[in-house]
Amino acid sequence: MSLLKGLNTVSVPVMDWAKAKAFYHDTLGLPILFDIEEVGWCEFGEAGQTTFAISLWRDATSPVRGGTIPAFNVDNCVQAVAELRKRGVKVADPVTIPGMVVYADVHDPEGNLFQIVQSTAPANA
């Protein structure tokens, strides 16, 4: 029996709270589930589902980047890349792995990497 029951939240550290919150909510359109600025936690998503969060980094030095790469599902990766670029977001060209996925690397204003992912696997795979 597995002790772990599934992914609850993926969070990334940020130093500019307002800029990060605006990026994920206003620019990307993620709904805010919890916003507790006094403790430095903002969680995006829907109740009862896996969520994405930012946590305020209060140390004087920049947090270490990398290690965790959240991936957000999209219906059409190529269209999502075009829309993100129109919004001024730094996003790489889509990469296709035939029969599996189309994905693109995206960076938030603080350099945190995440991906957008379109599944191309057959439904019964």
User: Where does 68-125 sit in CATH, by number?
Assistant: 3.10.180.10
Which CATH number among 3.10.180.10, 1.10.3720.10, 1.20.1260.10, 3.40.1410.10 corresponds to the domain 8-58?
Answer: 3.10.180.10
The reply to whether domains 8-58 and 68-125 share a CATH topology is yes
Buried b (16+ CB within 10 A) or exposed e, 71-104: ebebeebeebbeebeeeebebeebeeeeeebbbb
Tell me the pLDDT tens digit for each residue of 60-113: 776 666 567 788 989 999 999 999 999 999 999 999 988 888 999 999 998 888
Contact present, 102 and 93 (Cβ < 8 Å): no
- Give residue limits of the domains in the chain: 8-58, 68-125
- According to the model, what pLDDT value does residue 123 have? 67
